[in-house]
Chains A and B, each alone.
Chain A
Amino acid sequence: MENFFSRYKNPLVLMLILFIQVVALATQVKRAETGGRTASSSGGTRLIRVWTVTAITPVERVLVSTGHFFRRNWHNYIDLHDARKQNQQLQEELARLKLEQVRLREDAGQAQRLQALLGFRERYVGQTMAAQVIGASGSEQSRVLYIDKGARDGVKIDMAVITPDGVVGKIKDVFPLSSQIILINDRDGGAGVILQNSRLQGVLSGTPQGELKVKYIMADENVSVGEPVVTSGGDRIFPKGMPVGTVSEVSPDREGDPFLSIKVKPASNLSQLEEVLIVTRQSEQSTQLTSGNNSVRAADILAERLPTVNPTPSPTPAKAPGAKKTAASANPAAPAQASPLAGSTNPATGAAKPAVAAAAPRPSPSPSAASGTGVTGVKPSGAVTTGSGSQPKPAQNTTTKTGGTQPIANSATGTATSNPSAQKKPATTASPTPSPSVSPKNPSGATTSAAGAGNTTTKTGTPKKPQPKPSASPTASPAADTATPAAGSAERPPR
């Protein structure tokens, strides 16, 4: 027996070492419920990782800091001769951005008010922490990075990591002085995303080759190359609306699945990251209407942009029973859509006195609902869909359409795009010239819309009791959908 061990000592030791490692590997592999096996890095191997990372990262941190010290000095002193020119460019850009900010602030304020009216809840980037990338996996088989912030800095697992350009990844493991980021293009990385133009939702995941793909978008959907991809916020890790990348290739899935194979070019340069931001706190808050500067209603802002019509009384609505009917049915049917948008605090007004409201000119500006600028619903993603309220066009252009995959609105910016088809085809109920019966100052927007002027957020049906509050939850989607036929009916002449 002794002779056997001495003779086969080397193979026996080899088998012993391999056995130990196989057991260690087996503890990290768990069988998924669906049948497949997935490798998990947790378990008893964490101690080894902590030791290794603790030994390696301080050296990397010192080297990175030294490199940055010299680089900073270089930029501070030697590159000063470019400062004047750069300063001038920045001043010009600042002026341009100030102008843009004015417009965006207004749009954002409007979007917030509309979101508040719908009880819209969204997760914002509450607090971030800057971190320095100090190392990488050094392997083609995994795409992870190491940063110089760890548990002592408050970093936790599953925190989102971003750059100003876009999403980078999430925290996979946390050590005392450093953390490990798994990039979104790692095979275990990913995020919930939405295609910005088509509003299609999918799941972004990495591939073993380090590419980014969006999964679970049906093959019959229309996805164009170059379309921006942003986070949907549905994964509860990444804040909503963060840029992820752009669609670089669209093709049918080779595996025969009924889905598209969509490759995405990442917005961030994932191979050249120097600094990143860790989202340490996301605040989920519902937008609230605030007093003071934000007391101006969305309808008022929109009214200022639209051409004013002389408030001359007109018998037109009275002569058009269809219009009257429409006006009467508009508010009760969709108080959640039209009334909040118009800023009407009494949805019943439009329902109870449609003819009066339609005929009587009022000084208060509110063509917004009339012009189809009403919030017509909440998409499943939570995006507020509006009409072309921000477009200072005459009133015959704005049939609101919601639901489906229509490119409608961007909730993040508050900018809105109306249905192209609606823009091309003015509603037949609209008179090309502003009707005197339309009061752009009329707060009861739904009623005004029914009165004509081409503003065709109209509803059919019998008057019902108005609902005092709109719903912002996904249950609001059906309500949004109900607006679609109404918008469609706007293109038909009144009976």
Chain B
Amino acid sequence: MNYAAITLTSREEVEVHRFSWVASFGVPLLAIFVQSFFTRHVQFLETFDLPLLVTIFFAVARRRPIPGMLTGALIGTLQDSIAGIPVGLNGIAKTIIGYLASSLGVKLDVDNPGSRFLMTFAFYIIHRVVYVVIAIWMAGMNEAVNWTHSLIAALANGLLAVVLFALLDRLKERA
């Protein structure tokens, strides 16, 4: 495993991975389930956005924008339908994140922990901004904007991503 800092790589150097059908559908569903089930008991877990992390992971590992954004759209839609908010809020935000993450994965080495942390941190903030913009300007919702909390949550999600991505790496299959 390459632990170097973020480096530009040629298209031939990056590994493109694929996942089994079980992993492709099971992991997102499991993430949504865990997010829904355990936050009932441990409220601070709401700070973490497991579906977002899974979206980033699949998009980066596949390194193909269309599957990446489709994965994001699917996960976001499911998350919206569970959360009881208008369907499309997380869907749109995670579609954009899926597209950006897969596009980034083509150009950058995102397999080392440092880059994964920074990438997740940045994507969490972008996701939050997109979500707030859609919620306030399109859905007319009274959305609370606490950027300090969002920064802390981005840090927490970045740290969790390092651990989670290492676990999910075992599901990768070389394409």
Binding site for B on A (CB under 8 A): 9-10, 13-14, 17-18, 21-22, 24-26, 28-29, 36-41, 45, 48-49, 51-53, 55-56, 59-60, 63, 133-142, 144-146, 172-173, 180, 182, 187, 207-209, 271-273
Asked if B87 contacts A142 (CB within 8 A), the reply is no
Query: How far does the alpha carbon of A333 sit from the alpha carbon of B85 in the complex, in Å?
Result: 57
A28/B86 contact (C-beta < 8 A), A13-B66, A138-B32 known: yes
Bound form: Cα–Cα A13–B98 in Å:
12
CB within 8 Å for A53 and B82 given contacts A14-B99, A25-B139 = yes
State in angstroms the CA–CA spacing of A14 and B77 once bound together: 15
- Give the docked Cα–Cα distance between A37 and B136 (Å): 10
Give B61-90 interface residues, CB cut-off 8 Å to A: 65-66, 69-70, 73, 77-79, 81-89
Chain A residues near B32 (CB-CB < 8 A): 56, 138
Give bound CA distance, A209 to B135, whole Å.
15
Which residue on A lies nearest to B70, using beta carbons?
Answer: A17
Q: A17-B70, A17-B73 are in contact. Are A60 and B87 (CB under 8 A)?
A: no
Shortest Cβ distance from A294 into chain B, in angstroms? 45
A–B pairs, 18, beta carbons within 8 Å: A10-B66, A21-B92, A24-B87, A25-B88, A29-B86, A39-B85, A41-B84, A49-B87, A56-B33, A63-B37, A135-B40, A139-B39, A140-B46, A141-B143, A142-B84, A187-B142, A208-B142, A208-B144
* Given A10-B66, A29-B139, A52 contacting B81 (CB threshold 8 A): yes
| Docked complex Cα distance between A60 and B34 (Å) | 9
| Neighbour of A18 across the interface among B46, B66, B89, B92, CB < 8 A | B92
**In B13-55, which residues have CB < 8 Å from any A CB?**
29, 32-33, 35-37, 39-41, 43, 45-47
Give me the 5 closest cross-chain CB pairs, A-B, nearest first. A37-B140, A208-B144, A25-B88, A138-B35, A138-B36
* Residues of A contacting B141 in the complex (Cβ-Cβ under 8 angstroms): 39, 187
How many angstroms from the CA of A193 to the CA of B144 in the assembled complex?
24
When A14-B99, A18-B95, A207-B144 are in contact, do A56 and B82 touch as well, CB less than 8 Å? yes
Q: Contact at B95–A14, with CB atoms within 8 Å? A: yes
Residues on the B chain within 8 Å of A21, using CB: 73, 77, 88, 91-92, 95
Residue of A nearest to B99 (CB): A14
Q: A17-B70, A208-B142 are in contact. Are A10 and B99 (CB under 8 A)?
A: yes
Return the chain A residue nearest B50 by Cβ: A138
10 more contacts with CB within 8 A, not counting A21-B91, A25-B89, are: A17-B95, A24-B87, A25-B86, A55-B29, A56-B82, A135-B82, A138-B79, A139-B39, A146-B36, A207-B144
Q: A138 vs B31: C-alpha distance in the bound complex, in angstroms?
A: 10
